[in-house]
Amino acid sequence: MTLFEKIAARQIPADIIAEGSDWIAFRDIAPQAPVHFLVVPKRCIPRINEAQVSDEPLLGTLLSAAAATARQEGLGDSGYRIVINNGPDGGETVPHLHIHVLGARHMTWPPG
Ligand code: 5GP
């Protein structure tokens, strides 16, 4: 099992803030903003580059879940940033697809 599958299965503790039948949202252990959580599919897709056409409904669900959880966290009006890191140059460190949602501070552009 991947690290995030173990979190979804409650084998590793995490601060879970929202959950659906096929996704889970929990706070990042090393937050890069006052609000920083991850939205993760319970079924492992290693990274967005390996998503299949058949994964498209799940990908849509993940984006909707990210926005709904951001609203739940009070970010709906102030705004937030969604990030997906893919592969070595993208800065991916956990090989299980996840959407970062960061907010409650102003984001700069371009990202580092
Ligand atoms: P990536 O670098 O792959 O885009 O993002 C992985 C994220 O997972 C990082 O922001 C990292 O802080 C977070 N992370 C790694 N291990 C754990 C953990 O055990 N629990 C939680 N909640 N987050 C983790």
Condensed to tens digits (0 to 9), the pLDDT of residues 1-33 reads 999 999 999 999 999 999 999 999 999 999 999
Ligand 1 center from residue 31 Cα (angstroms): 9
List ligand 1's pocket residues with C-beta within 6 A: 3, 14, 26-30, 85, 91-94
Residues with Cβ within 8 Å of residue 97, at least 6 apart in sequence: 40, 41, 44, 45, 46, 47, 48, 51, 62, 84
Asked if 104 contacts 35 with a C-beta cutoff of 8 angstroms, the reply is yes
Q: Give residue 2's pLDDT.
A: 96
How does pLDDT run across 50-88, given as a tens digit for each residue?
A: 999 999 999 999 999 999 999 999 999 999 999 999 999
Pocket-testing residue among 38, 85, 99, ligand 1, by greatest number of atoms within 8 A of Cβ: 38
Sheet architecture: strand order including 99-103: 16-19, 23-27, 35-41, 99-103, 80-83
C-alpha–C-alpha distance, residues 110 and 112, integer Å: 7
pLDDT for res 112: 85
- pLDDT score for 103: 98
Residue 35 confidence (pLDDT): 98
**For range 25-45, the mean pLDDT:** 98
How far apart, in Å, are the Cα atoms of 87 and each of 21, 29, 72? 27, 20, 30
N residues, the chain: 112
Quick check: is 98 catalytic?
yes
Cα–ligand 1 centroid distance for 94 (angstroms)? 7
Residue 27 has what pLDDT? 99
Superfamily classification of domain 3-103: HIT-like (3.30.428.10)
